[in-house]
Structure 1
Amino acid sequence: MYEVYGIIGDPVSHSLSPIMHNLAFREKNIRAVYGAFRVSADQLAKAVEGIKALNIKGLSVTIPHKEKIIEYLDEIDEIAYEIGAVNTVLNKEGILKGYNTDWIGVIKAFEVNGVELRDKKIVVIGAGGASKAVIYALIKSKAKKIHVYNRTFEKAKILEEKFKIIAKPWEELKNAEGDIIIQTTSVGLKSWETPVEEEIISRFKVAMDIVYLPLKTKFLSIAERYGKIIDGLQMLLYQGVEQFKLWTGIEPPVELMKKALYEEAKRIEKEILK
């Protein structure tokens, strides 16, 4: 009998998580499968009940459920509670516990690229569930100053109160500057759009985008002209590594997962361009 894992979100068809997790299960001889399940916002409560009924062992959680799912879980890990967002669920004998591994993925992505976060002035675009994990990672890494810009200023203000960062009105984005800029919205997913204009991007030495399809988004294509870029697959990979360890207690084959992710991303890009 195979154990079942998966990812819930809306949309979810673009997710590359099944690629890396199914590979890891095979490589480690674990009898398990990982699928993608589209769950609309109004069906989230029923979906969580379904996890228990079907004995699904673990879940990845993506947009738009990272914050809302908290109220339907039995337990929340301390760090996930601090962040206010869950991207990982572990089903242990019918008890669903929420975790957040996104913040570890952020730190590791910068670390493997040789980028120091300590004492840096950092601009974050967006104020959703992914943004919370990014901000938490930056705080843990001792960033000097964190400015958050969001189209809905009230959402950025909530993060200001929660994390003691600085919320900035969207209209002031034209004046943004610093060492690192991180794009956490879904703008640019399977499209050639960027929420930040070139004039602004050019002021930063390092740019990261959490979107990974296309692999090099318009935002990153612009940023590459002015400094170092970090694509979204790197955060996806390292948060997934932590998920796998939480679910199985086993160290996954990181390099094989990385290779599979990049190969699949490039294959999908070719399909999109046809």
Structure 2
Amino acid sequence: MKLYGVIGDPIAHSLSPVMQGRAFDEMGIKAHYHPFHIKGQDLEIAIKGMKAIGVEGFNVTIPHKTAVIPFLDSIDPLAKAIGAVNTVIRENNRWIGYNTDGEGFTEALQAEWKENLQDEQVLMIGAGGAAKAVFYTLLSKGIHHIDICNRTMERAKKLIKDCPYKGHSTALTLTEAEEKLSQYSLIIQTTSIGMYPEVSQSPLSLEQLNPNAFVSDIIYNPFETTFLKAAKKRGAKTQNGLGMFVYQGALAFEKWTGQSPNIQRMTETVMEQLGGNVCLPENKNAF
């Protein structure tokens, strides 16, 4: 039986073991997916130990996505540019790191909205780690216009400046973004604002939102944030972060096995674990 897993600190409430474990079972693959609770000071020896015990691949969650990089043998160019790894595969006894967060977001967006995204006018809220993965990935796929608004303008400017994939991007204050909101066909909310337990919060006003816009929030706890509720009230189509979580997991599964899992069943599995719209405090970082 092959062994896979996820490393993080904390890790007890990860949703990945159930989601990936059921996917292995449904595909008839003899494998076990295990949550490994690894402290930062033990990361290097843990990565060596996982190779020693025959782990075939693993996911990486907070706080190890960047710290794990020096202990891998090779990094995919996109993951290297982003500076974070969430999926590792074992190939010829070498650890190879990938980042499927941005690609998972993109595939979920295409599945729930439209396939061709290149000509969309995009506003991204936030300039943290999740924003970086989404921003770099979307630009790498040829989307031309992505503006970024953030509470700290310097972080938005740095994110744009450092990105190796060039497009037409401007850093905006939150007020500037609110004033220009009607110009955007796609709004992507990448911050933790509105996540349980601060469910009443919203990153910016949607008064000027184009009702034909598509609004995505990477949060899925709660399933529908205050931000998404406001967008829906103004006529926009919306998407929460569940699809991103499922698709990034499916991409990891494909890299490990060469097979594509059933997305619908993976989604149902995660929803069962979350209990519908129940807010579970330990699931803030539920990878």
TM-score norm. by structure 2 comes to 0.81
Contact 2:7 2:59 in 1 (8 A): yes
> Which residue pairs with 1:258 in the alignment?
267
Instruction: Kindly indicate whether residue 253 of structure 2 is the aligned counterpart of residue 247 of structure 1.
Output: no
The CA RMSD measured in Å over matched residues stands at 2.7
The answer for unaligned runs of 5 or more in structure 1 is none
CA distance in 1, matches of 2:87, 2:189: 21
Q: Secondary structure at the match of 2:79?
A: helix
CA distance in 2, matches of 1:46, 1:154: 36
Which digits, 9 at most, give the CA deviation of each residue in 1:124-174, with x for residues without a partner? 122233222211332244334211233444432332112243333456454
Contact 2:8 2:39 in 1 (8 A): yes
Deviates more, 1:166-175 or 1:13-22: 166-175
> Which residue pairs with 2:204 in the alignment?
197
The AA in structure 2 aligned to 1:221 is K
Instruction: Kindly indicate whether residue 138 of structure 2 is the aligned counterpart of residue 138 of structure 1.
Output: yes
Contact 2:178 2:208 in 1 (8 A): no
Contact 1:85 1:132 in 2 (8 A): no
Percent identity reads 38
TM-score norm. by structure 1 comes to 0.85
Residues 210 and 271 of structure 1: CA distance in aligned 2, closer, same or farther (over 3 Å): closer
CA distance in 2, matches of 1:9, 1:236: 16
The AA in structure 1 aligned to 2:243 is Q
Residues 194 and 74 of structure 1: CA distance in aligned 2, closer, same or farther (over 3 Å): farther
CA distance in 1, matches of 2:89, 2:5: 11
> Which residue pairs with 2:220 in the alignment?
212
Contact 1:60 1:89 in 2 (8 A): yes
**1:14: how far off?**
4.4
The answer for unaligned runs of 5 or more in structure 2 is 282-287
Corresponding residue pairs, total:
271
Which digits, 9 at most, give the CA deviation of each residue in 1:201-240, with x for residues without a partner? 8457211122222222222222222211111111111121
CA distance in 2, matches of 1:50, 1:200: 53
Q: Secondary structure at the match of 1:251?
A: coil
Contact 2:221 2:279 in 1 (8 A): no
User: What pairs up with 1:28-177 in 2 under 5 angstroms?
Assistant: 28-115=27-114, 116-163=116-163, 164=166, 165-169=169-173, 172-177=176-181
Instruction: Kindly indicate whether residue 188 of structure 2 is the aligned counterpart of residue 179 of structure 1.
Output: no
Q: Secondary structure at the match of 2:90?
A: strand
CA distance in 2, matches of 1:217, 1:15: 21
The AA in structure 2 aligned to 1:130 is A
Deviates more, 1:117-126 or 1:159-168: 159-168
